[in-house]
Chains A and B, each alone.
Chain A
Amino acid sequence: MKLRITSITASAVGELINGVTTALEDRLRPRIEPCDYGGGIQQFAVFFVSVDSDPLENERYCVANNRATRYKDLLTGQMVKFVGMAIPVDPATVLGSPQAEFQKRLEGLLLDELESPAYAMPKKFDRQRLLADLKAALA
Chain B
Amino acid sequence: MAAGAVTADAIANAWDQLDTLLTRAANAGPQAVQYALVAERAGLYPTVGGDLVHLDAGEVWKYGISTDPAGRYPAPALSVLGLRMDIQTTGTLPQVYVAEKMQLINYAVTNGALPPGNRIFK
| A residues lining the B interface (CB < 8 Å) | 4, 6-11, 14-15, 17-18, 21-22, 43, 45, 47, 51, 60-65, 69, 71-75, 80, 82, 84
- Measured CB to CB, the nearest residue on chain B to A14 is B86
A47 to B58, CA, bound (A): 17
Known: A7-B84, A22-B40. 14 other contacts (CB 8 A): A4-B78, A6-B78, A6-B85, A8-B69, A8-B74, A10-B87, A11-B36, A11-B86, A45-B79, A63-B70, A73-B76, A74-B81, A75-B81, A80-B79
Chain B, residue nearest A5 (CB):
B40
A93 to B38, CA, bound (A): 22
A-B contact list, 26 entries, CB within 8 Å: A6-B79, A6-B84, A7-B84, A8-B85, A9-B85, A9-B87, A14-B38, A14-B84, A14-B86, A15-B58, A21-B40, A22-B41, A43-B79, A45-B78, A45-B79, A61-B70, A64-B68, A71-B75, A71-B76, A71-B79, A73-B76, A74-B81, A75-B80, A75-B81, A82-B75, A84-B74
Cα A4 to Cα B85 in complex, Å, equals 14
Q: Do residues B87 and A51 form an inter-chain contact, with CB atoms below 8 A? A: yes
Chain B residues whose CB sits within 8 angstroms of the CB of A4 once the complex forms: 78-79
**Are B75 and A10 in contact, CB atoms less than 8 angstroms apart?**
no
**Smallest Cβ distance from A54 to chain B, in angstroms?**
12
| Those 5 A-B pairs whose CB atoms lie nearest each other, nearest first | A64-B70, A71-B75, A64-B71, A8-B85, A14-B86
- Nearest chain B CB to A91's CB is how many angstroms away? 10
A60 partner residues in chain B, CB cutoff 8 A: 70
Interface Cβ pair total, 8 Å cutoff: 85
> Taking the nearest CB of chain A, how far is it from the CB of B36, in angstroms?
8
Q: Is B47 an interface residue (CB 8 A)?
A: no
B75's closest neighbor in chain A, by CB? A71
Contacts of B82 in A (CB 8 A): 6
CA distance in complex: A63, B69 (Å) = 11
B84 and A75 form a contact (CB under 8 A): no
Give the chain B neighbours of A6 by CB distance below 8 A: 40, 78-79, 82-85
**Which chain B residue has the least Cβ–Cβ distance from A48?**
B84
Does residue B88 face the partner (Cβ distance < 8 Å to A)?
Answer: yes
